[in-house]
Every structure is written in structure tokens, then in C-alpha cells.
């Protein structure tokens, strides 16, 4: 019934039950949806990067074709920009570093570099939270 699926048994450890591992997959294509995020407008480099592409598109005879061409070019640049400027793990990385430095401070005095790193992480975390709130 499910051609792209597989069921395998695992090694039983202590129980008399045999655990099963079900692997399911599909050939249904995943839609490539572009979602514009309002928080990008607050980043100082976003408009400078994307407006260049919008204004440099070749004008067409048909206004609709011109708009579609500009939108496609904008979408491609915005996707690249998002990957470069919005790493998904920044929140967890900053929280981890702040926690680690706080634990160090409980046992000893921090050096100037450690205090600076914690301050930078706190600033970046605050910016991240503000950007998320803009959504």
C-alpha cells in the first residue's frame, strides 16, 4: 500500500518486545513558497541589497511582464540574503554562550574578552528577539 515506506525490526535489549522502525517517504513535491518577513525591512542592509536588483531589471513592453521579472529577481536575492543574515541557530547559540559565561563567572572572575563576548551575545539576542517580534 505504501511503496516508499519500509518497516524494519530493531534489536531488543531488555524487553520481550521487538521495537519496529517505520521509515515513510513520499514523492509529493514540496512547494517552494517564498514568504516575505517584515523584520527584514528593519535590517539596514536588506533594502540596499534588494532594491538594486529591483531597479536594475530590464524594462519590458508589457507592464505585467516587467513586474513579474522584477518580483522573480527580488525573490532570488531575498532568499540568498535570508540565508546569509538570518542563521536559524543564532538564538540557541547566544543563549548557550551567555549561560556558559554566567556559569564561569560563578567560579571565577571573567576576563575582559569574556565580558565583551557576553555583552555581544546579549545585544545580538536582544536584536533577534526584536526582529521576531516584528513578525
Condensed to tens digits (0 to 9), the pLDDT of residues 71-94 reads 888 888 888 888 877 666 778 888
Residue 120 pLDDT greater than 60, yes or no: yes
Q: Looking at residue 39, what is its pLDDT?
A: 76
Q: Looking at residue 23, what is its pLDDT?
A: 83
Residue 116 pLDDT greater than 70, yes or no: yes
> Is 18 inside a domain boundary?
no
- As beta bridge partners, residue 23 has 6
> Is 106 inside a domain boundary?
yes
> Is 10 inside a domain boundary?
no
Residue 114 lies in domain:
90-133
> Is 107 inside a domain boundary?
yes
> Is 61 inside a domain boundary?
no
> Per the structure, how many domains does the chain have?
1
Q: Looking at residue 103, what is its pLDDT?
A: 92
- What's the start-to-end Cα distance of the chain, in Å? 42
Residues 19 and 12: beta-carbon distance below 8 Å = yes
Residue 34 pLDDT greater than 70, yes or no: yes
Nearest alpha-carbon partner for 37 in 46, 27, 48, 45: 46
Q: Looking at residue 72, what is its pLDDT?
A: 87
- Give me the mean pLDDT over the 102-124 stretch: 92
Amino acid at each position: 500500500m505504501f511503496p516508499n515506506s519500509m518497516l524494519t525490526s530493531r534489536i531488543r535489549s531488555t524487553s520481550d518486545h521487538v521495537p519496529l522502525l517505520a521509515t515513510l517517504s513520499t514523492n509529493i513535491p514540496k512547494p517552494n513558497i517564498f514568504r516575505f518577513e517584515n523584520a527584514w525591512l528593519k535590517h539596514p542592509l536588506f533594502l540596499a541589497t534588494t532594491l538594486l536588483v529591483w531597479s536594475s531589471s530590464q524594462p519590458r513592453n508589457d507592464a505585467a511582464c516587467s513586474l513579474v521579472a522584477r518580483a522573480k529577481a527580488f525573490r532570488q536575492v531575498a532568499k540568498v540574503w535570508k540565508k546569509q543574515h538570518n542563521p536559524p541557530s543564532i538564538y540557541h547559540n547566544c543563549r548557550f554562550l551567555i549561560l556558559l559565561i554566567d556559569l564561569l563567572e560563578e567560579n571565577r572572575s571573567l576576563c575582559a574578552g569574556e565580558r565583551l563576548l557576553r555583552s555581544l551575545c546579549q545585544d545580538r539576542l536582544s536584536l533577534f528577539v526584536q526582529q521576531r517580534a516584528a513578525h
